[in-house]
Amino acid sequence: MKKEQPKKRMWEWNLKEGRMLEGEYRGVYRGVGRFRSTIFHIMGKQSGKIETIWGNLVIDRALRDAVIGSYVKIIYKGVKIMKGTKGDNGKPKKNFDFDITVRAPKKPMGKSKSGGQKR
């Protein structure tokens, strides 16, 4: 079955160096489109809206173990030339560079299974 791209506004991270997306990880779509890309959903801390971002090698690796509710901060750092690699045209390959932070969600305080208070 073919997965369709979710009808959400895409976060345009590649427009400006230093652009930041910060918020709560809400989910992922894998295998989207003809290139079987990944799309991530993050509840924007500043916007209060679900921001949708296309994955790439760097983002996919950083978010592969993220769980719903994780804190995510993505800062676009520009285009990075990959040393020692060449594309079909003979020019060095380029990749988008990011600074990415992922933290597991905080566990809520409550009673443990033994009935005592968690510390």
E strands present in 45-111? 50-54, 71-86, 92-103
pLDDT digits (tens, 9 = 90+) for 2-35: 455 445 566 665 568 898 999 999 999 999 989 8
In a domain, 55, yes or no: yes
1 lies in some domain: no
**Is residue 8 a part of any domain in this protein?**
no
Q: Which pLDDT belongs to residue 14? A: 54
Range of the domain at 52: 13-102
113 inside domain = no
The pTM for the full model equals: 0.73
Residue 82 falls within a domain, yes or no? yes
Confidence of residue 78 (pLDDT cuts 50, 70, 90): confident
Neighbour count for residue 73 (Cβ, 10 Å): 16
Residue at 107 is within a domain? no
DSSP-derived pairing of the beta strands 37-44 and 50-54: antiparallel
Given this model, what pLDDT does residue 96 score? 84
Domain-embedded: residue 109 = no
Query: Which CATH number does the domain housing residue 81 bear?
Result: 2.40.50
Give the tens place of pLDDT for each residue, 80-117.
888 888 878 888 888 888 999 999 998 765 555 555 44
For the chain, the domain total comes to 1
* Phi, then psi, of 78 in degrees rounded to 5: 105, -165
Is 115 a member of any domain? no
DSSP 69-85: T-EEEEEEEEEEEEEEE
